[in-house]
Structure 1
Amino acid sequence: MTTIVTTSPGFGKHGRVPERLAERGWQLIRCADPKLPPDELAGQVTRADFLVVGLVPVTSETVRNAPRLKGVLKHGVGLDNIDIAACTARGLPVTNTPGANADAVAELALGLMFALARNIPAGHASVRSGGWDRQVGTQLGGKILGIVGLGNIGRRLARLARALGMHVLAADPYPDTAFATAHGIEIVGLDDLLGRSDYVSLHVVGGTHNAGLIDAERIGKMKSGACLLNLARGEVVDLDAVADALEHNRLSGVAIDAFVTEPPDTRHRIFSHPRAVFTPHSGADTREAVENMGLMVIEDIACLLRDKLPRRCVNRADLEGEVDRGKSVTHR
């Protein structure tokens, strides 16, 4: 029997995915509880033919202690919590699900922009508490949105924003210029984007390369009164610098969906700021997106069971001995 261990809380639960798993007779072991002792997770991984990854890190020790493992599959897009080099050294294919959750994350980003523009959380809290605090907000139409990372998510958000009448700027080291031209998106440098945008939405990968991408210096370059959204990874923004900017009215608002530690330590002063909005890393949490990701994972496991490398295998070149050092993934 094929045994799948998953650290993703959503894998195998939504849409057609449970039925597809049952049809194949695969055993699914869930290890998605963040409070699960490391030794218990390690014990389950020893039984795994395939590891379906959520946000729990996959380290060299993880793969070293999994003798049956045939593949590591990310139930999502970001690969920064997977030691791809260690997997490659063990001959393990690594896959992800690019584009599966792009609509979901982009729609949440748009929703968070509305929440900031129209003071929705504060209005909700006022009415719930018996108050009637009507605050004058702003409209999104005519504003400038700066998208950092014009990948699958960034492109979808750009289309949604353009439909609202926003002007869209994008910064990306490898921009899709054909898409930008077709959709009226202006490709600019990061500093230019920060200085001109009313809203800045981050859609880049995590890891050391982008750690502290938005720090005090970069916030100082942002348009006064702009809003910042982080639906990427927690380490991409410096929370201390963001809190300072809110307190000194350099930023009008911030919306954060991803944190360095999850759940975050809410004793940080940013969590008590009235112009900060938070969601629990739920950008990809729609039934449609979770189903899409699950179906992709099942397809790739079936491919691996036929001794073939899936087309979404991110370390294909290394496994096939054709190392391509010139490529890197810079957006989500």
Structure 2
Amino acid sequence: MGIVVVTTSPGFGTVGRVPGKISERGWEFIRCIDTSRPDGGVAEYRERMDFLVVGLIPATAEMIASAPRLKGILKHGVGVDNIDIAAATARRIPVLNAPGTNANAVAELAIGSMFSLARRIPMLHRVVTDGGWQRHVGSEIEGKVLGVVGLGNIGKTLARKGRALGMRVLASDPYPDVDFAKEHGVEIVELRDVLAQSDFVSLHVFGGKDNAHLIGAEEIALMKKTAYLMNFARGEVVDTEALYDALANDRLMGAAIDAYVQEPPDRAHPIFSHPRVVFTPHSGADTTEAVERMGLMNIADIEAILDGQRPARVLNPEIYR
């Protein structure tokens, strides 16, 4: 019986060298991305599934328990808050992600969002296409303060780009890479100082209950009225009600949002009609280059598991003890 690889990621196996490599290996490849179903349609294949490559649809304990042949769970991306790692560990199934593969893509989107906010590009685009000619005096990026919350792979990449643009860069992280910060001129400070001093605050932390409402009303109140908040982490990291309240009352200049508690979000919320917010559909990692890097890493880890090896990126190494 051949190897069956099921994915809930719309991007895995779609670009670059990845489709050819999957085909070369003779794996049966099944995509389950039906968002009208809680599991995307995985239930139809769980009896035969050897590997699950996870997108945004959760890999639940029930899904894991009902897949007797499951040999590995891989995230087509970095954040694994939607994978029940404890359930996988109980069955001695390795869980892996693809660290670093989307760092440049997300960092570039953050840079693009800064320019979009500073120069009001989406708004001015609509003005022109609607037949108007309303000009807007924006601001420049050079000389501004960039605050990076979460100095992991993405945060570090963004910090380097911010410095290259002539920005002062502050960063907060529970376990900061002091050597990196010293080498690249990044100032490590507490979160409250990042919020109080920055012109642009970009969030790059893990989701989950530990970071739920990391940025709420109290934290937003620390920010400058001329500052912008950018969420490229997870939806629950920011209190949307507090963010909207600050924007509506001119206590914050603007925001960029790429991650939402519910995806797709409920666009009836008034924040979606606010003119100083730039929205993207959780697309930080959506570049051809990043999607290919993720896919190649996922394939390499599947092959390692099939060869009886312990992959270097396994997130629950205790299963090998």
| TM-score, normalised relative to structure 1 | 0.95
% of aligned pairs identical? 62
The alpha carbon displacement at 1:221 in A equals 1.2
Please say if residues 47 and 66 of structure 1, whose CA atoms lie closer than 8 Å, have aligned partners that are also in contact. Answer: yes
CA–CA separation in structure 2 for the residues paired with 1:180 and 1:297: 30
User: Which residue of structure 2 aligns with residue 89 of structure 1?
Assistant: 90
Please say if residues 195 and 222 of structure 1, whose CA atoms lie closer than 8 Å, have aligned partners that are also in contact. Answer: yes
Three-state SS of the structure 2 residue aligned to 1:5 is: strand
Residues 181-196 of structure 1 aligned to structure 2 (within 5 Å): 181-196=182-197
- Does 2:306 align with 1:319? no
Three-state SS of the structure 1 residue aligned to 2:113 is: helix
The alpha carbon displacement at 1:39 in A equals 8.5
User: Which residue of structure 2 aligns with residue 45 of structure 1?
Assistant: 46
CA–CA separation in structure 1 for the residues paired with 2:46 and 2:173: 37
1:61-117: per-residue Cα shift (whole Å, max 9, x none)?
111100010000000000100111110000100000000010000000000000000
Deviation above 4 Å: which 4+ runs of structure 1? none
User: Which residue of structure 2 aligns with residue 200 of structure 1?
Assistant: 201
Three-state SS of the structure 2 residue aligned to 1:251 is: coil
User: Which residue of structure 1 aligns with residue 11 of structure 2?
Assistant: 10
Aligned length: 320
CA–CA separation in structure 2 for the residues paired with 1:99 and 1:132: 42
Amino acid at match of 1:76: G
CA–CA separation in structure 2 for the residues paired with 1:181 and 1:40: 48
The alpha carbon displacement at 1:167 in A equals 0.1
The alpha carbon displacement at 1:37 in A equals 5.8
Residues 111-122 of structure 1 aligned to structure 2 (within 5 Å): 111-122=112-123
Gaps of 5+ in 1: 322-332
Please say if residues 171 and 193 of structure 1, whose CA atoms lie closer than 8 Å, have aligned partners that are also in contact. Answer: yes
Residues 26-37 of structure 1 aligned to structure 2 (within 5 Å): 26-36=27-37
Please say if residues 7 and 53 of structure 2, whose CA atoms lie closer than 8 Å, have aligned partners that are also in contact. Answer: yes
Three-state SS of the structure 2 residue aligned to 1:223 is: coil
Three-state SS of the structure 1 residue aligned to 2:272 is: helix
Amino acid at match of 1:282: S
User: Which residue of structure 2 aligns with residue 127 of structure 1?
Assistant: 128
User: Which residue of structure 1 aligns with residue 61 of structure 2?
Assistant: 60
- Does 2:250 align with 1:249? yes
Distance 1:230 1:126, change over 3 A: same
User: Which residue of structure 2 aligns with residue 80 of structure 1?
Assistant: 81
Three-state SS of the structure 2 residue aligned to 1:271 is: helix
Residues 134-153 of structure 1 aligned to structure 2 (within 5 Å): 134-153=135-154
- Does 2:17 align with 1:24? no
Gaps of 5+ in 2: none
- Does 2:293 align with 1:295? no
Alignment RMSD (CA, Å): 1.0
Amino acid at match of 2:217: A
CA–CA separation in structure 2 for the residues paired with 1:91 and 1:286: 33
Amino acid at match of 2:225: S
CA–CA separation in structure 2 for the residues paired with 1:4 and 1:95: 15
| TM-score, normalised relative to structure 2 | 0.98
Please say if residues 45 and 51 of structure 1, whose CA atoms lie closer than 8 Å, have aligned partners that are also in contact. Answer: no
User: Which residue of structure 2 aligns with residue 217 of structure 1?
Assistant: 218
CA–CA separation in structure 1 for the residues paired with 2:231 and 2:33: 24
Amino acid at match of 2:276: R
User: Which residue of structure 2 aligns with residue 329 of structure 1?
Assistant: none
- Does 2:278 align with 1:282? no
The alpha carbon displacement at 1:38 in A equals 4.2
